[in-house]
Amino acid sequence: MFTGIVQGVAQVAAITDRPGLRSFELAFPPGFDDALAIGASVACDGVCLTVTTRPAPGRAAFDVMQQSLGLTTLGALAVGSRLNVERAAKDGAEIGGHPLSGHVDCRGQLLAIRRPENNHVLRIGVPPGHMRYVFAKGYIGVDGASLTVAEADRRECWFEVWLIPETLRMTTFGDRRVGDALNIEIERATQVIVDTVRDVLDERLGPLLPALQALLAQQGRSIDEFGAAMPAPGSR
């Protein structure tokens, strides 16, 4: 598990391709790899990867299978690419962000960048099937960083996040340009609630569900909003 608090920026030092597998050697910032053992987990741009070798101090290698390369942005990395990294959370660690599994759900696309004074706003588009889980004031994982959704437009399938200077300093977000792909991990509690509500409504309403969806759409609303209004498991 990870906390979504990026601990530094690594750089791709080498790439090795083998049948069905690509290996990345990453160079870490000073101190990041202290006591980093083979078999340990590291979130690399939000993707949970396992350390396979330690070629030298300050470096580690990771194997990535084709499925992960196709689903995430890792397949587009080249030597010199920079990526956000976080060590696996230790028992009792402070969760400054929100729990992340390192299992990317989809790729988003950076649609626009705004720069109000001392802020950096990213507008990110996501596939419609995943947008149902994104709500204003909720959490979302973007390239391994736990971020709060500021605004969300379900019809246009985008959301916005606001980044402070410290977040830009510790991550690669300042390097991103319009059109870039980003790894997105949905907040799991929200996903469970939304899916449960949809299943219950489908079971209870049956053939009436499409009519209800159409009615809500005319009002600019969605069934998924009912899921967002419910408290998360264990909350009050």
Q: Which tens digit of pLDDT belongs to each residue from 159-197?
A: 999 999 999 999 999 999 999 999 999 998 888 888 787
88-145 pLDDT, tens digit per residue, is: 998 776 777 788 999 999 999 999 999 998 889 999 999 999 999 999 999 999 999 9
Token representation of residue 35: 């006591």
Model confidence band, residue 83 (pLDDT cutoffs 50, 70, 90) = very high
pLDDT at 233 over 50: no
pLDDT at residue 140, rounded to an integer: 96
Domains contained in the chain, CATH given:
8-87 (2.40.30.20), 106-188 (2.40.30.20), 193-229 (no CATH)
Q: Are 9 and 82 in contact (CB under 8 A)?
A: yes
Q: What is the mean pLDDT of the chain?
A: 88
Q: What percent of the chain has pLDDT over 70?
A: 84
Q: Are 60 and 25 in contact (CB under 8 A)?
A: yes
Q: What is the pTM of this model?
A: 0.84
- Cα separation, 123 vs 110, in Å, equals 6
Model confidence band, residue 200 (pLDDT cutoffs 50, 70, 90) = confident
Model confidence band, residue 81 (pLDDT cutoffs 50, 70, 90) = very high
pLDDT at 28 over 80: yes
Say which residue, 191 or 44, is predicted with more confidence: 44
Token representation of residue 5: 């608090």
- Cα separation, 133 vs 129, in Å, equals 8
pLDDT at 232 over 80: no
Closest CA to 94 of 3, 223, 174: 3
pLDDT at residue 209, rounded to an integer: 59
- Cα separation, 142 vs 18, in Å, equals 29
